[in-house]
Amino acid sequence: MSYDRSNAAPMVARGLRILPWESDMGHACYLAADPEQLGYSRSVVSRLADRIEDGQLTDGAHVLQGARAVLDDPKAGKEALRRSLALVTRALGDVLRVADSRGARLTPPAIEDAETGADQEEDDG
């Protein structure tokens, strides 16, 4: 997979979840959630996506550990560095997709109005 954050992140609308896989054509896949659940769904597809995302994060941690080992090895050659960088690039794309997916499902933080002391939702625009 090759996640392009610059194309996908701005497209995430409230109530949509970026799934941790792509279509056969390489496009991002989305899951529409029940609006009452604020973008979080307990559907079979959502639970599968949760498990895949958890696996991607675990894989990312292992790839990071391996990349550090390659970088710490003064005898590591060009091929080992290229292979390690390829794995890190793939893992980073997966982690960015997970971050965008989970971040889009967060409710906007309430900010306190300095004059009234009341909570207000943050205005994005």
Opening angle at CA 12, ends 11 and 15, nearest 5? 145
Give the bridge partners for 32, in sequence order.
16
pTM (predicted TM-score): 0.69
Give the bridge partners for 13, in sequence order.
none
Residue ranges covered by each domain of the chain: 5-106
- pLDDT tens column, 44-56: 888 899 999 999 9
- pLDDT tens column, 13-49: 667 888 999 889 888 888 886 555 544 557 888 889 9
